[in-house]
Amino acid sequence: MTSLHFAIRYSAERGFEEQALALARRLFAVYDEAIDSLALLPVADDDFTLCVNEAILVSQRRDGRAPTVADVRALLADGRARAESPEDAPPE
CATH code for the domain of 17: 3.40.30.10
Q: Which residues of the chain have pLDDT under 50?
A: 83-92
CB hemisphere CA count around 46 (13 angstroms): 22
pLDDT of residue 43: 96
Domain membership of residue 55 (yes or no) is yes
Whole-structure pTM value: 0.83
Cα–Cα distance, 53 to 69 (Å, whole number): 15
Domain membership of residue 35 (yes or no) is yes
Domain membership of residue 73 (yes or no) is yes
pLDDT of residue 52: 96
Give the count of domains, the chain. 1
Domain membership of residue 29 (yes or no) is yes
Cα–Cα distance, 65 to 67 (Å, whole number): 7
Domain of residue 68, residue span: 5-87
pLDDT of residue 1: 56
pLDDT of residue 81: 56
pLDDT of residue 78: 84
pLDDT of residue 79: 72
Domain membership of residue 50 (yes or no) is yes
Domain membership of residue 62 (yes or no) is yes
